[in-house]
């Protein structure tokens, strides 16, 4: 449910609200693992590299280190290094 609300917020250009809903969706009792990737990607776009990495680490067990998760994590690490 949170993932759907996040998608609606995103379509309306409400990025901060979308991030909040994606994060809630990822932390729910029945998490949507894509919510964590969408939240982390939006956080990266905003330059919140540390928070994006925290979201990704929280989703590691859901993704079991498969490629979509690894690719975004590599991007987040590279962005964090470039920013310093």
- For the stretch 11-34, pLDDT in tens is 999 999 999 999 999 998 888 999
Give burial (CB, 10 Å; 0-12/13-18/19+) of 19: buried
Give the confidence band of 65 by pLDDT, cuts at 50, 70, 90: confident
DSSP letters, 72-84, are: HHHHHHHHHHHH-
Integer Cα distance of 58 and 10 in angstroms:
22
């Amino acid at each position: 449910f949170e993932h759907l609300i996040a998608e609606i917020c995103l379509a309306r250009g409400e990025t901060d609200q979308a991030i909040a809903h994606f994060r809630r969706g990822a932390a729910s009792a029945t998490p949507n693992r894509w919510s964590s990737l969408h939240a982390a990607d939006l956080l990266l776009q905003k330059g919140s590299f540390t928070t994006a990495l925290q979201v990704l680490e929280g989703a590691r067990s859901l993704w079991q280190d498969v490629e979509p998760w690894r690719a975004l994590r590599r991007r987040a690490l590279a962005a964090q290094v470039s920013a310093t």
